[in-house]
Chain A
Amino acid sequence: MRLSGLRPIALVLTREVMITVLLLLGVSFVVFVILYLAPGDPFSMLVEGQVQSEEARAGAREALGFSQSWYSQYFSWVTQMLQGDFGTSIRTGLPVASELVFVGFNTLILTIGSMLVTLLIAVPIALYSSVRGTTALSWPLTMFAYVVSALPVFWLGYIVIYIFMHRFGLFPLMTSSSRGFSWLYALLPIVVLGVGNGTISEVIRSLRDEMGRVMSEDYIRTARAKGASVWKHSFKEGFLIPVTEIIAAKIPFILGGAVIVEQVFNWPGMGRMAWQAAQDRDFPVIMGIAMLAAVFVRMGSMFQRVVYVMVNPRASKE
């Protein structure tokens, strides 16, 4: 029984891994095309960056050459990447891969934390309004959601920093010199991004609509008619599935917001690094970040698929 339950999950996982590989190839190709078309031939710069020594670089230049066809350029670049070689940063001269691990971890914390904050705000509101319908509280709650979703996150960051600086005399910026990991330094950006990533009203709406739709399903009526708990029966389809779907769908938005919040709070993550790299035209770095971000997004959707298959007996049959 237990084992047979695991089989569909394993199947889905393999399927999703295959799709992920395919999509990551697609992502790398898009990145390649953008850089290939860009003026100043940044792609050659990029390939050069992947080669360490001066002699080897000259050799590579010769080997690759400008006359070389685009597909062999692409191919050699992807092979390098598969071997874990993302090249070296033009600015710092350090290998990109090791830096990606560090910033990726920081951003992962920020992203997951913010997602939780968003859900902590949105889920109760969505549940309340789907159960109660229109009440005296719905108007302020709805307005709150709209305001929060339109709020520019950078300005929200300023307000929070200002309040903490002047009220509590704290300077909640994560500076490079700061040692250790103060919870306050971590918490503030997480809360700011969680509130200000612009997805709250959409999360509320889709959760509320989904819950409402499920509540009007025939089988929920059956559950009521037999005196069983409506919550128990609607939990999987009305809550678990939509929440995981939202998590998966909103990761790109939160990662996008992270670029700004990391900037405001000086958080050493992918977003800040991408910003820096974009200014310096540091292509090996920005590419690596694009690939890593795509991996994050795909991991989110993989998580969603796995939950869906675990919950929905029908999906595992397909």
Chain B
Amino acid sequence: MKNYSQRSGEIGDFSDIPFWKKADAADLVYVSYGLLIVTLVVVSYLLGAFHLLPHDPHDIRLDLMMSPPGTAGHLLGTDFMGRDIFSRLIVGIQAYFLPGLLAVAISLIGGSTLGVLAGYRGGMADTAITYFTNLVDSFPRLVLILLVVAAFKPDIYYIMIVVGLTNVPVVASLVKGKILFLKQKNFVEAAVSLGLPARTIILKHILWYNCRSLLIIQATLGMGEAILMETSLSYLGFGVQEPSPSWGNMVQAGANYFMQGKFWPSTAPALAILFTIMGFHLLGDGLNNLLEGKRGR
């Protein structure tokens, strides 16, 4: 059974219907959850940056080694060196926050530039960008990162530059697609024929009005991607190195104890990864549906 009902009263002016009534309930839940996660991440980042933590994350307490969650003062327990897991989780955000923003910035700026070049100018630029996309797609991202790590040094910023660069084609093709859609509707031509300068058309009409939601969504997805990459590489031992905490190297450090049935040292960061990445994904998809109206009529 599906229910449909019309508002009683005068139809005609719909502007007084609040946006959350028009939207799909699921999307609102997605976006609220996503925003909650983003807020938590930002707040935790700031807490970590100013060292406002329950415990010093580097404070080794051999007497408290492997205390289970709930031990007095240690909400999530301690790890194999007796360090507070909760504090280390908060500090772990330092590992990906700024590098992740860098990756997102690279992909958005690079992607919209190339996308505009390919979509607006077309021709050779388009062909070149297609090849660039194919080239980037030919590398598994992680293999490329391993190569860079081996050649230079295992530095999280190097890794994030690669992540950002490899996301450039994704953003570029989306921006290009949008421009081609607008072109197909003669929108760009109409703007040119009105006499608008190319700068206004590209910056104001294309990027600002028509690509902004797309870019916001890509930013959230890109951040999720960056977190995944950072944690994966730290897990593999190439990202953030002990004793600096990262969610990835925390999982790795807890792995041996996991097999002994002591779950918490690796489960806490793993769940943090799960819920955070999910938050960014849900935020992206929810925003996509809200702003672009993928569902319903």
Q: CB within 8 Å of B: which residues of A?
A: 19, 22-24, 26-27, 30-31, 34-35, 37-39, 42, 139, 142, 146-147, 149-152, 154-155, 158, 161-162, 165-166, 198, 201, 249, 251-253, 255-257, 259-260, 263, 271, 274-275, 277-279, 281-283, 286-287, 289-290, 293-294, 297-298, 301
Contacts and interface: CB of A to CB of B under 8 A. Distances in A.
A303 B58 CA distance: 51
Interface string B1-19: 0000000000000000000
Nearest to B228: A198
B141 interface: yes
B255 A158 contact: yes
B251 interface: yes
A24 B131 CA distance: 12
Contacts of B248: 152
Contacts of B232: 152, 154, 260
Given A23-B135, A252-B137, A252-B140, A259 B146 contact: yes
B131 A26 contact: yes
Contact of B146 (A158, A278, A298): A278
B194 interface: no
23 contacts: A23-B138, A38-B152, A147-B274, A149-B278, A149-B281, A150-B224, A150-B281, A154-B235, A154-B255, A155-B273, A252-B141, A255-B142, A255-B143, A259-B140, A259-B142, A259-B143, A259-B146, A278-B149, A283-B150, A286-B150, A290-B143, A293-B143, A297-B137
B134 interface: yes
B266 interface: yes
Contacts of B251: 152, 154-155
B107 interface: no
Contacts of B261: 162, 166
Given A152-B232, A278-B238, A165 B139 contact: no
Given A152-B274, A158-B258, A161-B259, A256 B150 contact: no
A142 B155 CA distance: 36
Contact of B278 (A150, A277, A281): A150
Contact of A27 (B139, B150, B238, B277): B139
B147 A286 contact: yes
Contacts of B140: 251-253, 255-256, 259, 293, 297
- Please list the 10 inter-chain residue pairs (A to B) with the smallest Cβ-Cβ separation, ordered nearest first: A38-B151, A256-B142, A155-B270, A255-B140, A150-B277, A150-B278, A278-B146, A278-B150, A252-B140, A256-B140
Contacts of B258: 158, 162
B237 interface: yes
A34 B236 contact: no
Nearest to B235: A154
Contacts of A281: 150-151
Given A150-B224, A286-B146, A155 B267 contact: yes
Interface in B195-241: 224, 228, 231-232, 235-238
